[in-house]
Structure 1
Amino acid sequence: MPVKRSTLRENHISFWDRIHIDLPLLLGLLVLMGVGLVTIYSAGGQDMALIERQVVRLGIAIGVMV
């Protein structure tokens, strides 16, 4: 008995679908975070302490979201 193509496609689920993460949305969010970091760096007088604190906050936020 031949196997239908739709059955084969259903069995091959991508990694991102399996963990329920919308990849384009995640990439857009990461780009916005990067722009925010550049803005903070520029407005903060190139103070790396501000960037480090913000990166920690962003890491916590991503961890909570995932």
Structure 2
Amino acid sequence: VRKKSSCWKKAYNWFCGFDQGDAPKLTKEQEAELKMKLTDTTEKPLWRNVVNANAIILLAVCVFFHGFFA
């Protein structure tokens, strides 16, 4: 049984984009699949290399600025 929400609570939920309805019930298989999808940390090799290159460049810039302005 759901309580009737106050006007302020409804306005807050509407402004923040919260849904008022009940979420659909998932089966055990759907829950397991959703958990696997949400906890998957695999990444494509191209983007892993791009991120690593950007990290090295940023580290070099920070070391340069630290040495230059020290």
Give the TM-score band, short-chain normalised: 0.3 to 0.5
Larger relative contact order (CA 8 Å, sep ≥ 6): 1
Say which one has the larger Rg: 2
Structure with the bigger percentage of helix: 1
